[in-house]
Amino acid sequence: MAFLRSRPNAPLCARSARKAEKFAPNRDLGASSQAGRPVEASRMLGEEAITEFGAHLLRQGRSRKTVIGYQSDLRGFAAFYAKRHNLPWVVEETTVEDLRAYLDAQPAQAPTLNRRLYTFRSFFKYLVRQGVLTSNPAEMLEAKRVVQKERYALPADELARFIHHIPHPHVQAAAWTMAYTGLRMAEIIFLRMMDVDFEEGVVRVEHGKGDKPREVPISDALRPILSQYVEQYRKGAKPHERFFATPSTGGLSPTHINRVLKQTSQALGYRRYVTAHTFRHSFASNLIRQGVHITLVQKLLGHSSPTVTSVYTHATRDDLYRAVQTLSFEEGQA
């Protein structure tokens, strides 16, 4: 079924045309449509725009991981566009129908699709500011509705029981650390000896999500666990070496950690497997249940806002029961 194509964005002035020429590669493009229409050399090819956009994001202070993610989304669309039109992607020719068709063709969940939509909006907004385009085709697309699911967390006693049953000493120590600090899997894996400061009493996360550094205090309960682990397994390790590491590999892999956690879940008869992120969820939800203010939990987790942290506010049936028992509408009672 043929899709209607809206009028492509065209530069409005000489400045816009010069912008387009700036990005055009100085080589024979050698691509043509089925009708024999060559790609105009004065137009900006998608790959050129993607490269320039990536450089712009780095100048704005975005992390390399974030930039790679943006560029991966855009290159996915470039491949889709080329297959759809039998032409290399030229950004001025992009229509809202192209973007919608690409998103509709993706077998992804709503959060992933919304992230790609955000990538498109940012990318085309940048091109509009550069004078390459006159409008942003992604602005006409609506985000998918996301149903927020409550995160899976374990009560404190159940969490302790699970960790005690982890048979692998390196994974067990990493699990205790995640449970007491809320560190992400990647943050635990790349934690270095120098990042655990016993003298200052903090764990330093140098490269958190979005390259946001933070410090998490070492609790009195965690300190002896880490000290014993260093004494038994990491004595003599150099400052830049991984904190959690097996002698054979010099580190821990996500695959290995998840395999051990899955085996422990099966051994304990859990219907829902515990993952590394379960410890982070449990850390946050147990702090909130202990009455710790959500803004403090936010800082410990490295979230950008309390709104993100709010998904960790778990409520059990007992919590709800106690809440409704506080009400009384009888006459004479406040």
Shared domain check, 160 and 136: no
- 196 and 297 belong to one structural domain: yes
> Among 105, 140, 175, where does a domain finish?
140
**Contact predicate 208/60, CB 8 Å:** no
- pLDDT greater than 50 at residue 5: no
Residue 201, both tokens = 């009493």
Alpha carbon of 42 to those of 14, 38, 101, 261: distances in Å? 12, 12, 26, 56
Query: Of 316 and 289, which is predicted with more confidence?
Result: 289
Question: Does position 228 have pLDDT exceeding 90, yes or no?
Answer: yes
CA–CA gap between residue 288 and residue 110 (Å, rounded): 28
Query: What is the average pLDDT across 98-122?
Result: 88
Look at residue 15 and tell me whether its pLDDT is greater than 60.
no
30: its two tokens: 């050698």
CA 215 to chain centroid, in Å, comes to 20
Task: Give pTM, 2 decimals.
Answer: 0.57
User: Is residue 95 domain-shared with residue 177, that is, in the same domain?
Assistant: no
> Is residue 62 left, alpha or beta, with left meaning phi > 0 and alpha meaning psi from -120 to 50?
beta
pLDDT bracket for residue 241 (50, 70, 90): very high
256 lies in a domain?
A: yes
Same domain? For 200 and 307 the reply is yes
Q: pLDDT, tens digit, for every residue of 126-171?
A: 999 999 999 999 988 888 776 555 557 888 899 999 999 999 999 9
The whole-number pLDDT of residue 253 equals 93
The pLDDT of residue 64? 86
Q: Are residues 124 and 190 in the same domain?
A: no
- Give pLDDT, residue 293: 82
In a domain, 330, yes or no: no
Q: Which of 140, 171, 203 is the last residue of a domain?
A: 140
Residue 181 lies in a domain: yes
Lowest mean pLDDT among 68-82, 179-193, 295-309: 295-309
- pLDDT, residue 17, reads 42
Q: Record the tokens describing residue 4, joined without a space.
A: 């209607």
Where residue 314 falls among pLDDT bands split at 50, 70, 90? low
Structure tokens at 153: 């967390």
Looking at every residue in the chain, the average pLDDT score rounds to 81
- Pairwise CA distance, residues 213 & 216, whole Å: 10
* CATH classification of the domain holding 73: 1.10.150.130
Instruction: Say if CB 92 and CB 20 are below 8 A apart.
Output: yes
- Expressed as residue numbers, the domain containing 48 is 14-140
Which are the contacts of 209, defined by CB distance < 8 A and separation ≥ 6? 184, 302
> Which residues have a Cβ under 8 Å from the Cβ of 144 and sit 6 or more positions away?
110, 113, 114, 117
**Tell me, what CATH number does 235's domain have?**
1.10.443.10
71 with 33, same domain: the answer is yes
Mean pLDDT value of segment 9-38: 39
**Whether 132 and 170 share a structural domain:** no
**140, 166, 185 — which closes off a domain?**
140
Looking at the domain assignment, is residue 31 inside a domain?
yes
Extract the tokens encoding 43: 């137009």
Residue 161 and residue 93 in one domain: no
Residue 35 covered by a domain = yes
Residue 250 lies in a domain: yes
Could you tell me if 206 and 61 lie in one domain? no
Contact predicate 50/72, CB 8 Å: no
Query: Does residue 316 lie in a domain region?
Result: yes
How many domains are there within the chain?
A: 2
Instruction: Read off the tokens for 106.
Output: 């993706």
Instruction: Identify the helix (H) or strand (E) that includes residue 313.
Output: none
Are the C-beta atoms of 216 and 296 separated by less than 8 Å?
Answer: no
Together in a domain, 190 and 302: yes
The pLDDT score that the predictor gives to residue 39 is: 44
What are the C-alpha distances in Å from 4 to residues 96, 98, 127, 234?
10, 10, 24, 64
Q: Based on the fold, state whether residues 19 and 123 are members of the same structural domain.
A: yes
pLDDT of 317: 58
Residue 16 in this model has a pLDDT that exceeds 50: no
Strands 214-217 and 196-197: unpaired
Residue 331 belongs to a domain: no
**Together in a domain, 275 and 193:** yes
Is residue 24 predicted with pLDDT exceeding 50? no
pLDDT of 298 higher than 90: no
Q: Which two tokens stand for residue 314?
A: 């778990």
Binning pLDDT at 50, 70 and 90, where does residue 313 land? low
